[in-house]
A and B are shown apart, each in its own frame.
Chain A
């Protein structure tokens, strides 16, 4: 497992570094500009940016033929899928770390603070990233890595689409609640937290679906 993980890391280490630096600088710039909408966007961007090399790895493994060779190594098919999902989580945590670091630096340099609302927004970013992974992994195994760019694009749009849908649904739910209930709860936390949990659940389901697909694959 460690070897498989390491292989993925080495395959895209330069991409990870360049994305991390770009995301860090961009978040700082956006905070510096101070536009509220852009700052919210800055909470998503590093996470979504940083998980994308995980899908690039699938492309590399297919183009190099490693996806065939790896089946001859002393690992089972389950280990291979596990290592891919773990690598995704690893990249996601880098994305979260970059965002937090950028805000810490911004606070230190620009004096701006990362409020609770922004933290909740980051949960949505994580939720969208989970949905990206949940769709991209099984779809890439079914449709092939040649269609990987389209798959990642569709997965990202699906993540954002689900978020907008969830927002609408949550607004309707709030309308049906009493004013007291609405006033007493932290709506932002409930919504963003629920969206993160939905994303996580889809990601976990996707892992088992991908495992089922991969177990039937021939190379």
Chain B
């Protein structure tokens, strides 16, 4: 077993927009949580939509569960849990009615699991879901995604709108989801601290292109951010430079190799948020 999801050279363009995905590739190994990071409009939702079949791809291959994806295959969809960036569930239904609907949709629907999460997230069962707060809506969407024995979760901004307690609860649930190493999660979030907490792999996307795909450990332990003068940047090995951004008379550089710079040139305690900013705002 290698990857639960493997996207290779995905291209997707729109008729009425100049935006496009260009050769997007990403892999979710079994048992891992992949953080998908990018600004608004970078291509995260388009990539997820292409994987899920809500959008049609131009070219590229998507392998899910080690087979070419087939969006007409119902059995394949049984194994995918999805949370979008806002509530996409019928607003007039209550939690109880939603349970009845979904129990007829998913073969593996577990009423017990669903109400376990509904209780865990303290959601009302008889209130129309359209009246839920954003946080409650996201929790309900997560409860749905976790209640049909999915093997792959695709979460588009699932932590958005949750308070710190709610986010902590959700992250705990997601970590438990991949614990047995036979499932995986692709998770985009603007709150990079959430991704920093639970992701194993990180994929950064900008303008429809993947800027960096790296394991969190490697990024935090081996990559460095240095603050250098222009002439010092010229002396660096070009292949070690991931991104650079001018900052006054200095240049901030993300490097794959620590040995290229001295200790006093390093920016200490950088977070994924700092690195993300450098990747999104900087150039190569």
Contact = CB atoms under 8 A, between A and B. Distances in A.
Interface of A: 2-4, 6-7, 10-12, 60-61, 63-66, 68-69, 71-77, 216, 218-219
A72 B75 contact: no
B34 to A, nearest CB: 18
A69 B10 CA distance: 22
A68 B84 contact: yes
B154 to A, nearest CB: 8
A110 to B, nearest CB: 37
A61 B97 CA distance: 16
Given A10-B93, A65-B88, A74-B78, A3 B103 contact: yes
A51 B52 CA distance: 32
Contacts of B71: 71, 76
Contacts of A66: 88-90
Contact of B86 (A10, A65, A75): A65
Given A12-B92, A69-B84, 8 more contacts: A6-B100, A10-B90, A64-B87, A64-B88, A65-B89, A68-B88, A72-B82, A75-B105
B106 interface: yes
B55 interface: yes
A189 B233 CA distance: 90
A143 B82 CA distance: 28
Contacts of A69: 82, 84, 88-89
B91 to A, nearest CB: 5
Interface of B: 49, 52-56, 71-72, 74-75, 77-78, 80, 82, 84, 86-93, 97, 100-107, 130
Nearest to A69: B88
A72 B92 CA distance: 20
Contacts of A65: 84, 86-89
Contact of A3 (B86, B89, B102, B130): B102
B90 A60 contact: yes
A65 B84 CA distance: 10
Contact of A72 (B72, B77, B91): B77
7 tightest Cβ-Cβ pairs between the two chains A and B: A3-B104, A65-B88, A3-B105, A69-B88, A74-B74, A74-B77, A2-B104
Nearest to B15: A218
Contacts of A2: 104
A61 B90 CA distance: 7
A75 B53 contact: no
A60 B130 CA distance: 11
A13 to B, nearest CB: 9
Given A10-B90, A64-B130, A219-B49, A76 B74 contact: yes
Given A68-B54, A71-B52, A74-B78, A4 B90 contact: no
A72 B55 CA distance: 11
Given A3-B101, A68-B84, A71-B54, A11 B74 contact: no
Contacts of B74: 74-76
Nearest to B93: A10
A74 B75 contact: yes
Contacts of B100: 6
12 contacts: A2-B104, A6-B104, A11-B93, A65-B86, A65-B87, A68-B88, A69-B84, A71-B53, A72-B52, A74-B77, A75-B77, A76-B74
Given A2-B104, A74-B78, A74-B105, A7 B93 contact: yes
A64 B90 contact: yes
B1 to A, nearest CB: 23
B55 A218 contact: yes
A2 B106 CA distance: 11
Contacts of B130: 64
A142 B54 CA distance: 17
Interface centre among A69, A75, A216 (most CB of B within 10 A): A69
A71 B102 CA distance: 13
Nearest to B86: A65
B94 to A, nearest CB: 9
B107 A74 contact: yes
A64 B55 CA distance: 18
Contacts of B93: 7, 10-11
